[in-house]
Amino acid sequence: MESFQMSVTPWPEDRSPKPQQIEAAMKAEALPYYRWSNGPSDVYGIHRHNYHKVIYVVSGSITFELPQTHRRIELTRGDRLALPAGVDHGAVVGPDGVVCLEGHQ
């Protein structure tokens, strides 16, 4: 398996991609994926996974906290996060909630 690096990729065009465009981008990843959502200000405590995660934000926003690097990363519509297995992270959902597509590798 190739090396999987953490990265954040903003949507390459305007900041208002349509949900179908975001779903097409996720399908191009060739990963099984699912849709999830959370309400405003929902919190995920610090945790880690034993799989690589790819997330696209369909609507709203979510801020990821990466305590090992002391970084906070806000994702909005169209943004893509690649998170390697074993990376500690937590998240706080933005004021309008969030809808995401998530795939695992």
In this prediction the pTM is 0.91
Helix, strand, coil % over all residues of the chain, rounded to 5? 10, 50, 40
- pLDDT computed for residue 14 by the predictor: 66
pLDDT along the chain (105 residues), means of 10: 73 84 94 96 97 96 94 95 95 98 94
- Full set of structural domains in the chain with CATH: 7-104 (2.60.120.10)
CB proximity list for 49: less than 8 A, separation 6 or greater = 83, 85, 86, 104
- pLDDT computed for residue 105 by the predictor: 86
